[in-house]
A and B are shown apart, each in its own frame.
Chain A
């Protein structure tokens, strides 16, 4: 292809018609609390890993629901499993188990 000196930027739009939901489905079946997030951000405020990286649990599960499976599996690796987010969650979500389930799904699916 001829090089015209510019490139196309991929759309940053989320298209729920084509988004994959295998990871969201497998996690929510094993841990129904996955659907209970009210996006308060308490988990991020207390996150130890978030102090040193851009990791955030709220955004992690949000983007899994929007189909960004591969990226979020890599993101979940940043969690140190300290469990502080589980302690502060007002919806009593077992956040730690969700991270473990994401890792388990990745191993089983070879991702």
Chain B
């Protein structure tokens, strides 16, 4: 077999799809805009629900690729043109042709500066969940801007999710369990540190997530149901936050040393660019549109163009990898393999 599939995006979905396509005998051109594969997962320290090392997952997926995959790192795909069932990939690298295209362009983290009232980029002790992962990776614990250990940390759920004020009406799915995971990690790294999670709902949908929530409760994490209205910096560079304690219908405030904003998933910019070049549309949230929600989540409305992972909406690693492998089978069917 000498057929080629172009996979755009070298995150966990792209890697899993490329490996599956290799096993089915296809040549794969794997495009990755960054210098390394692994996507957003590469920037994470440990993963929910069992604190597995994130790099281990990326390495496992990357190691299952065969010589049939050609990886083009540092290469940005600008557009894809289709002529008579053949796809021309125009990128920052050399032009290439493929018999099918799989978009695994993933997501970008919500830019927390857009929620200006929470003070990210303004107050020194307001950070994002991604910043906290970097701290865990480098020093194993959260640190304030002056390098000291915080005594009180607040996690703010749904930053850039379920919020029409920033045009993100959807739930990003994984931030709840990430906040609970990180809250547990803070309690383990700094047992004296008080931890408060401000949530609207706790959406613990996956295997082991609800158990992790209970573990956080056992480890003394405080859960307060209410969305932050604002954060203010005190003279001592602490952060005073305000919310409603909705379970007793009362306003509440607390001063903490460190605020962690749980940033949601936004569509990657390249997703829409490539979809448009193919004459395809995004869905109402700006992610890639799919043929149908129940039985066609890896199909688009154009034959030969497939999607997998978080480019079509927020997804965890498990679902991204499964969808990538499902897409590989759909591509196999499309190319006449079955």
Q: Are A and B a genuine interacting pair, yes or no?
A: yes
In the assembled complex, which residues on chain B have CB atoms less than 8 Å from the CB atom of A66?
245, 248, 252
B248 A63 Cβ-Cβ under 8 A: yes
Q: Is B114 an interface residue when CB atoms closer than 8 A count as contact?
A: no
Q: Is B338 an interface residue when CB atoms closer than 8 A count as contact?
A: no
**Contact A35:B217 (CB < 8 A) given known A62-B247, A65-B222, A66-B245:** yes
A35 B220 Cβ-Cβ under 8 A: yes
Q: Interface 1/0s, chain A 37-71, versus B by CB < 8 A?
A: 00100000000000000000011001101100000
B247 A16 Cβ-Cβ under 8 A: no
A66–B222 Cα distance when bound, in Å, is: 11
In the assembled complex, which residues on chain B have CB atoms less than 8 Å from the CB atom of A63?
248
Q: Is A36 an interface residue when CB atoms closer than 8 A count as contact?
A: yes
A39–B249 Cα distance when bound, in Å, is: 13
A36 B217 Cβ-Cβ under 8 A: yes
A7-15, A94-102, A103-111 - the one binding chain B: A7-15
B214 A36 Cβ-Cβ under 8 A: yes
Q: Is B122 an interface residue when CB atoms closer than 8 A count as contact?
A: no
B218 A35 Cβ-Cβ under 8 A: yes
Chain A: which residue is nearest B210 at the CB level? A38
In the assembled complex, which residues on chain A have CB atoms less than 8 Å from the CB atom of B220?
35
Q: Is B55 an interface residue when CB atoms closer than 8 A count as contact?
A: no
A48–B255 Cα distance when bound, in Å, is: 39
Q: Is B95 an interface residue when CB atoms closer than 8 A count as contact?
A: no
Q: Which of B214, B217, B222, B255 contacts A17 (CB 8 A)?
A: B255
Task: Name the residue among B217, B220, B250 with the largest chain A CB count within 10 angstroms.
Answer: B217
For chain A, the bracket of interface size reads 10 to 19
- Shortest A16–chain B CB gap in Å is 4
Q: Is B253 an interface residue when CB atoms closer than 8 A count as contact?
A: yes
Q: Is B225 an interface residue when CB atoms closer than 8 A count as contact?
A: yes
B248 A32 Cβ-Cβ under 8 A: no
Chain B: which residue is nearest A66 at the CB level? B245
- Shortest A57–chain B CB gap in Å is 13
Q: Which of A16, A39, A58 contacts B253 (CB 8 A)?
A: A16
A39–B225 Cα distance when bound, in Å, is: 10
In the assembled complex, which residues on chain A have CB atoms less than 8 Å from the CB atom of B248?
59, 62-63, 66
A36–B216 Cα distance when bound, in Å, is: 9
A29–B188 Cα distance when bound, in Å, is: 18
Chain A: which residue is nearest B242 at the CB level? A13
- Shortest B222–chain A CB gap in Å is 7
A66–B254 Cα distance when bound, in Å, is: 11
B255 A13 Cβ-Cβ under 8 A: no
Q: Is B67 an interface residue when CB atoms closer than 8 A count as contact?
A: no
A12 B225 Cβ-Cβ under 8 A: no
Task: Enumerate B216-261 residues with CB–CB distance to A below 8 Å.
Answer: 217-218, 220, 222, 225, 245, 247-248, 250-255
A36 B218 Cβ-Cβ under 8 A: yes
Q: Which of B217, B218, B252 contacts A13 (CB 8 A)?
A: B252
In the assembled complex, which residues on chain B have CB atoms less than 8 Å from the CB atom of A32?
218
**Contact A13:B251 (CB < 8 A) given known A35-B220, A36-B214, A39-B225:** yes
Rank and list the top 7 A-B pairs by shortest CB-CB distance, nearest first: A16-B254, A14-B252, A13-B251, A35-B217, A36-B217, A17-B255, A39-B247
- Give 18 new A-B contacts, CB below 8 A, not counting A14-B252, A36-B218: A13-B250, A13-B251, A13-B252, A13-B253, A15-B253, A16-B252, A17-B255, A35-B217, A35-B218, A35-B220, A36-B214, A39-B247, A58-B247, A59-B247, A65-B222, A66-B245, A66-B252, A91-B214
